[in-house]
Amino acid sequence: MIEVEQLAKSYGFAQALKGVSFTVQKGEVVGFLGPNGAGKSTTMKILTGYLLPTSGRASVAGHDVVADSVAARRCIGYLPETTPLYGEMRVDEYLRFCAEIRGIPADRQPGAIGRAVERCALQRVLGKNIIELSKGYKQRVGLAQAIVHEPPVLVLDEPTSGLDPNQIVEVRSLIEQLGKERTVILSTHYLQEVEKSCTRVIIVDRGRIVADGTQAQVTAAHGGSALRLRVRGPAEAVREQLQQMLPPSAPLTAEGGGDGVTTWRLGLPAASAAFPAVVAEQICRHGWQLLELAVERASLEDIFRQLTGRKAQEAVHA
Amino acid sequence: MRETIVVFRRELRSYFLSPIAYVFGILLVSVLLYYVTEATLQNGARATAEPLFGTLPFMLVLFLPGLTMRLWAEERKLGTLELLMTFPVRTGQLVLGKFFACLAYLAIVLALTIGLPLTLGAYGKLDWTPVLGSYLASLLFAGSFVAVGMFWSSTTRDQMVAMLLSLVSLFVLYQLGNPQNIEYASGWMPAWLVDTVNGLSPHKYFVSIARGVLDTRDLVYFACFCGFFLYANALALETRRTKG
């Protein structure tokens, strides 16, 4: 549905995108993550045809966003980051304008607008001027605008930023619903949002993709997991035993508790689903008491911080 | 075409949804009538609307930048330009829709001055041909100024900058076609230079049409003048896509 190849964009001397490539299949809900200025918005603006790339190419539903821009734009519903709206217009007028300019025939407009209004629960504010609406409602008007022509692709730039927790839940469930029938790309700062509503994560940092895949893939590839054990037994002997089982470079930390109990945390070697069982067996064989055994998966947040935070520090030192 | 009409309708309606339409219209008409009433309606004056159309060009120089400065600059500032430019519409269609909406609005404002010629017609023998010609000329003239002002508005997000640039360029264009200046310049400048400089100004063609003689060359001039600036306008917007 969306193909992006070696996309680059410079603003003057500043390089916002440095060769980004990814493909999005029909029906995927992709969460675009990254710190501010990483290139999320730039990518979205190029996909929607607002900006032209400096180099590289992108296509939406088979239409090149540069050569066949108008056709590509026809397939997209877009909610820009700032949710721009014509404040002086009434909600119904505004949606009619969007339907008209999207080329929905006059006889199908009432139906299309009605569906968008219902989905975004705008019935109560239809006759109000947009400028009088609360931020949550404005956001929903922006979403209604983006879906009124039933586009196969939705591009939502930070759809929940600045909303209160109730509104966030509402907008999120709306996105979840929308994602069932169409391809969605959304950018966000809220990692839970990606965990809840996206089938795939793309993490960008300083103009490059640093991680791409389903959440499980990304966590496995970048975070790995850890094994946490609480063992009652002689600490030194336990350590020796654990070290024998681990590759030499694997992290191993210990935290002493009272009563001869130690909490161990060891990096779980990749691709060894049976490893916890082996550890448990060894400990029992020595006659130590295994009080607790848990596999801790790195959260998306850990990975996000690991992939994007460290580099920011490097940049400061450079 | 359909897209242009959709943009046109929204734009024209938005004039009347904000106070701008009313403030601008009422002020322009009041100032115009204030200046010309005395000259046209006093005892013994000729039944002619010439003072009205003689004052109009300079009033447009003063007033139009205030109307056109917001056309693109405001959309850019509010971010709605991003919305417009990601709709499946060509940039030229956006430009034309906006331009004709502004022109339609000005036609409505100009129509509000019809009271003056009507009054003259009621009390004296008014020749309506130059009056109608002048209305047409005013509209074309206003259109050429709108094209200039709108172009400047597309180059910046700061409305004040757009206003000042428009004001200065409109003033220069006005002066280039001002009959008094032409007379003065012909005294010491070669005739071809005077003709060339003078020929650039919409003011000259305004005077020509306002006489009541409709010459195709004048119409072609206005079409070219507006076309040039509208094209530059679309180009300025398109360039933004590269620069970001």
Model confidence over B181-240: pLDDT tens digits?
Answer: 888 888 888 888 888 888 888 888 888 888 778 888 888 999 999 999 999 999 999 998
Residue B108, SS3 per DSSP: helix
Range of the domain at A88: 2-220
Q: What total of structural domains would you count in chain B?
A: 1
Residues A98 and A209 grouped into a single domain: yes
The helix (run of H) or strand (run of E) holding residue A143 is helix A135-147
Closest-CA distance, A124 to chain B, in angstroms, reads 21
pLDDT band with cut points at 50, 70 and 90 for residue A183: very high
The closest CB to that of A80, out of B82, B88, B241, belongs to B82
Query: What pLDDT does A276 receive?
Result: 82
Residues A156 and A253 grouped into a single domain: no
Task: Record the pTM.
Answer: 0.84
Q: What is the DSSP string of B6-73?
A: HHHHHHHHHHHHSHHHHHHHHHHHHHHHHHHHHHHHSTT--S--HHHHHHHHHHHHHHHHHHHTHHHH
| Percent of chain B's residues with pLDDT above 70 | 97
A89 vs B: CB within 8 A: yes
Residues A149 and A120 grouped into a single domain: yes
Question: pLDDT of B52-75, one tens digit each?
Answer: 888 888 999 999 999 999 999 999
Residues A17 and A90 grouped into a single domain: yes
A71 vs B: CB within 8 A: yes
Residues A201 and A251 grouped into a single domain: no
Answer yes or no: do B86 and A73 touch at CB < 8 A: yes
Residues A51 and A191 grouped into a single domain: yes
Query: What pLDDT does B200 receive?
Result: 85
Q: How far is CA A34 from CA A24, A106, B176, B187, in A?
A: 18, 41, 56, 69
Nearest CA in chain B to A74: B88
Answer yes or no: do A76 and B6 touch at CB < 8 A: no
Query: What pLDDT does A312 receive?
Result: 47
Query: Is A89 a residue whose pLDDT tops 80?
Result: yes
Residues A157 and A72 grouped into a single domain: yes
Q: What total of structural domains would you count in chain A?
A: 2
Q: Are A215 and A300 in contact (CB under 8 A)?
A: yes
Residues A141 and A281 grouped into a single domain: no
Burial of B41 (0-12, 13-18, 19+ CB in 10 A): middle
Q: Give the CA count within 13 Å in the CB-facing half-sphere of B132.
A: 5
The closest CB to that of B10, out of A11, A80, A97, belongs to A97
Q: Which of A202, A220, A238 is the last residue of a domain?
A: A220
- What CATH number is given to the structural domain containing A131? 3.40.50.300
Mutate to test the interface with B, among A50, A91, A129, A154 (most CBs of B within 10 A): A50
Whether A113 is in a domain gets the answer: yes
Give the residue numbers in B contacting A (CB under 8 Å), as ranges: 2-3, 6-7, 10, 13-14, 17-18, 78-83, 85-90, 241-244
**In the structure encoding, which two tokens stand for residue B57, read together?**
């060009």
Q: Tell me, what's the ipTM?
A: 0.88
A45 vs B: CB within 8 A: yes
A43 vs B: CB within 8 A: no
**In the structure encoding, which two tokens stand for residue A147, read together?**
């879906």
The closest CB to that of B241, out of A51, A78, A98, belongs to A51
Answer yes or no: do B79 and A84 touch at CB < 8 A: yes
pLDDT band with cut points at 50, 70 and 90 for residue A309: confident
Q: What is the mean pLDDT of chain A?
A: 86
A303 vs B: CB within 8 A: no
Residue A211, SS3 per DSSP: strand
A49 vs B: CB within 8 A: yes
The closest CB to that of A52, out of B81, B88, B241, belongs to B241
Query: Is A311 a residue whose pLDDT tops 60?
Result: no
Answer yes or no: do A76 and B17 touch at CB < 8 A: no
Whether A131 is in a domain gets the answer: yes
Closest-CA distance, A12 to chain B, in angstroms, reads 7
Residue A130: list chain B partners with CB under 8 A: none
Whether A315 is in a domain gets the answer: no
Answer yes or no: do B17 and A89 touch at CB < 8 A: yes
Q: Are B86 and A49 in contact (CB under 8 A)?
A: yes
Residues A19 and A139 grouped into a single domain: yes
Nearest CA in chain B to A10: B243
Question: pLDDT of B147-193, one tens digit each?
Answer: 999 999 999 989 999 999 999 999 999 988 888 888 888 888 888 88
Residues A163 and A270 grouped into a single domain: no
Closest-CA distance, B89 to chain A, in angstroms, reads 6
Range of the domain at B66: 2-243
For the sheet containing A252-256, what is the strand order?
A252-256, A261-268, A225-232, A289-297
pLDDT band with cut points at 50, 70 and 90 for residue A317: very low
- Once rounded to an integer, what is the mean pLDDT over residues A261-278? 76
Query: Is A228 a residue whose pLDDT tops 80?
Result: yes
- What CATH number is given to the structural domain containing A272? 3.30.70.600
- Once rounded to an integer, what is the mean pLDDT over residues A139-156? 92
Answer yes or no: do A42 and B244 touch at CB < 8 A: yes
Closest-CA distance, B5 to chain A, in angstroms, reads 9
Closest-CA distance, A134 to chain B, in angstroms, reads 17
Query: Using CB atoms and an 8 Å cut-off, which of residues 129-168 of chain A contact chain B?
Result: 145
Closest-CA distance, B241 to chain A, in angstroms, reads 4
**In the structure encoding, which two tokens stand for residue B206, read together?**
């305004």
Residue A199 phi, psi (nearest 5): -90, -10
Whether A163 is in a domain gets the answer: yes
Residues A179 and A86 grouped into a single domain: yes
Residues A132 and A168 grouped into a single domain: yes
